[in-house]
C-alpha cells in the first residue's frame, strides 16, 4: 500500500454528490469507504477479510468483524467495490480507481493483491452501466529532467510501517533473516509439499518442521512455551504452517503483514473449528493497536 503522500487526490470531490455512495444509509460504511480510498494500494486493492480490513481502516479502535462485514456488503450493493475470493482469501478492489486515479512519477502499477475475476467486472459493468478502466499513468511532458524526477513522491504497493513490536522489532527483517527464509522456501524438504489444504500432511514430529515453526512464531513474538502454557495445539500449529505455505513460503516482514498473517490463521481456525491459544489473540490485538510511544 502507498507509503507516502500521493500526488493525485486519493478521494475525488465528486464523491460528495456520488449517488452510489450517498445511497448507503450507514454512516460507518460511508466513512469507512473514504478510509479505504486512503489506505488502498495504487490499484485500489486491499485485503477483503472483514476483521483484517477493520484493523487497517481503524487501527486504534476497529469495529467488530460482523459490523465490517455489513459495511463491505453495502459497498458491494452500491457498486463501489469488487469483493472476491482467490483461494482461501478475500480481497477488495475499489471499482472506479482507474477512472479517478493516475499513476505518476515512481508510483508502481504492481499490486500485492490479485485482480478481481473478469466475469465479475463484466457483470458490474452491465448492472451499473459503468465502464471499468485499468489504472493509467499520467505523463507530464514538461517534466523531462532527472533532477525533477528525483523530487517526485515515491509510493509503492507494499506496506511499510515502523515501530513494530512483539518480536517484529524493526520495520523490515534483516538481510540475513530474509536470506534464511528464502533458503527455506527453496528447500523442498523444509515443508512437505502439498496441493490441497489437508492438515494431516504436516508431521509435527519432524525436527525440520519444528524449526520452521520456531522461526515463524519467533518473528511474530509468540513464545511457544509461555504462549501455549501446559496445553498443546497441534492442529493450530498445522494451520500456521498451511497459511505460511499459502503465503508462498514468506513470513511477515512488518506490522501490517503480521496482522494479516495472524488474522488469516485465526480465520482458518474458526472455519475448521480448531482451538487456538489466547496468546495469539493477545499479540494480534497489540499489533492492531500499533506501536506504543
Span between the terminal Cα atoms of the chain, in Å: 24
HEC-encoded secondary structure of 9-24:
CCCCHHHHHCHHHHCC
Average pLDDT, the chain: 75
Query: What's the pLDDT at 54?
Result: 94
Find the mean pLDDT for residues 233-251.
82
Contacts of 41 by beta carbon, 8 Å cutoff, 6+ apart:
1, 2, 111, 112, 113, 157
Query: What's the pLDDT at 288?
Result: 78
Query: What's the pLDDT at 26?
Result: 93
Query: What's the pLDDT at 81?
Result: 95
| Residue closest to 228 by CA, chosen among 273, 265, 278 | 278
Does the pLDDT value for residue 219 go beyond 90?
A: no
Find the mean pLDDT for residues 200-227.
85
Q: Alpha helices, DSSP H only, in 137-254?
A: 146-150, 175-186, 207-219, 224-228, 234-246
> Quick one: 255 exposed, middle or buried, by C-beta within 10 A (0-12, 13-18, 19+)?
buried
Does the pLDDT value for residue 57 go beyond 90?
A: yes
d(CA 220, CA 238): 16
Does the pLDDT value for residue 15 go beyond 80?
A: no
Residue 197: pLDDT band with limits 50, 70, 90: low
C-alpha cell at 190: 523444509
Query: What's the pLDDT at 165?
Result: 36
Does the pLDDT value for residue 148 go beyond 90?
A: no
Give me the phi and psi of 91, to 5 degrees please: -140, 165
Contacts of 153 by beta carbon, 8 Å cutoff, 6+ apart:
4, 5, 6, 7, 104, 105, 106, 107
Find the mean pLDDT for residues 9-36.
84
2 CB neighbour count, 10 Å cutoff:
21
C-alpha cell at 47: 485485503
d(CA 252, CA 258): 5
3-state SS assignment for residue 134 = coil
d(CA 53, CA 70): 12
Does the pLDDT value for residue 4 go beyond 50?
A: no
d(CA 15, CA 23): 12
| Residue closest to 97 by CA, chosen among 116, 73, 70 | 116
Query: What's the pLDDT at 105?
Result: 66
Find the mean pLDDT for residues 176-201.
46
Q: Using only the alpha carbons of the chain, give its radius of gyration.
A: 21
Question: What are the pLDDT digits (tens) for 37-55?
Answer: 988 988 999 999 999 999 9
Q: Which domains does the chain have, with CATH numbers?
A: 13-150 (1.10.10.10), 175-289 (no CATH)
Query: What's the pLDDT at 263?
Result: 85
Is pTM, for the whole model, over 0.75? no
Does the pLDDT value for residue 146 go beyond 50?
A: no
d(CA 31, CA 49): 18
Q: Residues 227, 217: contact at Cβ < 8 Å?
A: yes
Amino acid at each position: 500500500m502507498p507509503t507516502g503522500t500521493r500526488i493525485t487526490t486519493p478521494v475525488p470531490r465528486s464523491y460528495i454528490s456520488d449517488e452510489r455512495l450517498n445511497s448507503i444509509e450507514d454512516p460507518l460504511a460511508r466513512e469507512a469507504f473514504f478510509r479505504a480510498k486512503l489506505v488502498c494500494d495504487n490499484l485500489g486493492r486491499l485485503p477483503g477479510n472483514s476483521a483484517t480490513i477493520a484493523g487497517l481502516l481503524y487501527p486504534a479502535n476497529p469495529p467488530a468483524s460482523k459490523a465490517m462485514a455489513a459495511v463491505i456488503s453495502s459497498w458491494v450493493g452500491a457498486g463501489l467495490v469488487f469483493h472476491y475470493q482467490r483461494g482461501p482469501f478475500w480481497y477488495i478492489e475499489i471499482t472506479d480507481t482507474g477512472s479517478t486515479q493516475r499513476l505518476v512519477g515512481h508510483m508502481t502499477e504492481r499490486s500485492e493483491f490479485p485482480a478481481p475475476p473478469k466475469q465479475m467486472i463484466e457483470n458490474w459493468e452491465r448492472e451499473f452501466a459503468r465502464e471499468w478502466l485499468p489504472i493509467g499513468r499520467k505523463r507530464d511532458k514538461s517534466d523531462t529532467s532527472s533532477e525533477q524526477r528525483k523530487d517526485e513522491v515515491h509510493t509503492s504497493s507494499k506496506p511499510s510501517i515502523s515501530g513494530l513490536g512483539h518480536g517484529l522489532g524493526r520495520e523490515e527483517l534483516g538481510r540475513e533473516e530474509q536470506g534464511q527464509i528464502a533458503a527455506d522456501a527453496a528447500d523442498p524438504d523444509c515443508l512437505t509439499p502439498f496441493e490441497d489444504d489437508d492438515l494431516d500432511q504436516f508431521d509435527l514430529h519432524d525436527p525440520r518442521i519444528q524449526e520452521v515453526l520456531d522461526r515463524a512464531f519467533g518473528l511474530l513474538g509468540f513464545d511457544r512455551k509461555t504462549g501455549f502454557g501446559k496445553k498443546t495445539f497441534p492442529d493450530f500449529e498445522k494451520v500456521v504452517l498451511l497459511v505460511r505455505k499459502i503465503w508462498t513460503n514468506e513470513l511477515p516482514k512488518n506490522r501490517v503483514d503480521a496482522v494479516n498473517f495472524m488474522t488469516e490463521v485465526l480465520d482458518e481456525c474458526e472455519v475448521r473449528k480448531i482451538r487456538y491459544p489466547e496468546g495469539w489473540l493477545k499479540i494480534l490485538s497489540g499489533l492492531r493497536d500499533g506501536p506504543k510511544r
